[in-house]
Chains A and B, each alone.
Chain A
Amino acid sequence: MMDRWTFGLTMLIVGMGGTLLTLILLSLIMTVLKKIFPYRPDEEKKD
């Protein structure tokens, strides 16, 4: 069983790092999707 500090610091580094990296990845994916599917006013009008 790992000690408390190993557990806490692992959670801090991997948990926070993982959250940050995941959100960076999602923000990149969304940026790419916006470029692939740009907004067209006529698209909205059709709806």
Chain B
Amino acid sequence: MIEAIISGANGLIAGFANLHWSNPVMMAIGCLLLYLGIKKDFEPLLLVPIGFGCIIVNIPLAGLMEKEGFLRTIYDAGIITELFPLLIFIGIGAMTDFTPVLENPYTFLLGAAGQCGIFLTLLLALALGFKYNEAVTIGIIGACDGPTVIYVASQYAQNLLGPCTVAAYSYMSLVPVLQPPIMRILTTKKERETIMKTHKRTVSKTTKLLFPIVITIVGGLIAPKGLPLLATIMLGNLMKESGAVARLTKASENEIANIVTLLLGISIGATMDGKVFAQPTTIIILALGLVAICLDTVCGVLFGKFLYLITGGKVNPLIGAAGISAFPMSARVVQKEGQKYNKKNYLLMHAMGANAGGQVGSVMAAAVMLSVLKGMGVI
């Protein structure tokens, strides 16, 4: 009888007995993510489920990520199959208005410049000894685009999925803090004060409808390995612009996006098991992610300065900083920064063009990267 009671009581303390030192550390990190999401409003839709997933996966013996554990089932169904990031992309496409980039197609180029950080960080990761597939995944953090990072990591470096995703979403939410100092360092006061003329241009509905179709066909032919990324975002946009499938558009940007975001977040949190996550490599990845996003901003602003020079001072170089995928946060940062130096400066629409260009640019960069890797026989 007493033995049975002791055995039963042992069952209640087994969780404590099996606690690895890294588990409480990760639970604290999970709480930090919850704090950032709930109190600081940093990407709460993602950080709250990620933080909670991180806490529960670090409770020993629950077996949530073991075979047939509920988190493993969600993870296998949505992350391993790449389904979750692609479904999110349909929602992003349905929510994004690409009119600003269509009004000024040259802003596509700012979207390209804003992707330099991806490739420069890839070089840095290689120099630090990461394997090819790992270096590619770390570089993709520079796309500043969570679903793209998850898509690439789930295919080529599942061991880095957790740290890369946390880095991508955390730094995306830190764009208003990270970008302004870089913008100030790289530009002169005169450049920041540049007023850009607002041309009242409009884009026909036919052009808006053709945009997603053209991007899918041309982009897909150039970079077929990235077609799932391109096609899903453009399908969402086509549904939005056509207006013919309002129910599907609404479902994509609301119900589907919400459900998938929840499942995606908790699955990413589930990859943050202390024994795997609490490694020096994670710190290096977080640092490289920061470098990637800073380099994107540097290259974007430098390209903006180049446009300023060749147009004889008609382009405010600050809009180059919006050539990243953090839409529309980055454009708002540019508008705010521009108005600080000239109250009459309204850069928002130009910056939105660069930002929408950055959205396409980040997907295109990932697609091109995957196709180049395929061409080189690495994947």
- Asked if residues B365 and A15 are in contact (CB atoms below 8 Å), the reply is yes
Count of chain A residues with Cβ under 8 Å from any Cβ of B?
A: 34
Residue-wise interface mask of A (1-44) relative to B, using a CB-CB cutoff of 8 A (1 in contact, 0 not):
01011011111101110111011111111110110011110011
- Asked if residues A33 and B207 are in contact (CB atoms below 8 Å), the reply is yes
- Asked if residues A29 and B214 are in contact (CB atoms below 8 Å), the reply is yes
Given the interface contacts A26-B215, A27-B108, A34-B207, does A19 sit within 8 Å of B202 by beta carbon? no
Chain A residues with Cβ below 8 Å from B62 are none
B223 at the interface (CB under 8 A from A): yes
B132 at the interface (CB under 8 A from A): yes
Bound CA span A31–B102, Å: 8
Chain A residues with Cβ below 8 Å from B243 are 47
Residue-wise interface mask of B (285-313) relative to A, using a CB-CB cutoff of 8 A (1 in contact, 0 not):
00000000000000000000000000000
Chain B residues with Cβ below 8 Å from A38 are 204
Chain A residues with Cβ below 8 Å from B214 are 26, 29-30, 33
B122 at the interface (CB under 8 A from A): yes
Chain A residues with Cβ below 8 Å from B207 are 30, 33-34, 37, 39
For residue A3, give the distance in angstroms from its CB to the closest CB of chain B. 10
Chain B residues with Cβ below 8 Å from A28 are 105
- Tell me the total A-B contact number using a CB cutoff of 8 A: 124
- Asked if residues A12 and B119 are in contact (CB atoms below 8 Å), the reply is yes
From A11, A33, A37, A43, name the one whose CB has the most chain B CB atoms within 10 angstroms. A11
Chain A residue with the shortest CB-CB distance to B104: A27
Chain B residues with Cβ below 8 Å from A23 are 108-109, 111-112, 357, 360-361, 364
For residue A5, give the distance in angstroms from its CB to the closest CB of chain B. 8
Given the interface contacts A27-B105, A30-B102, A30-B105, does A39 sit within 8 Å of B202 by beta carbon? yes
B195 at the interface (CB under 8 A from A): no
Bound CA span A11–B108, Å: 21
What are some 6 contacts across the A-B interface (CB < 8 A)? Answer: A14-B372, A16-B119, A20-B113, A23-B111, A23-B361, A43-B205
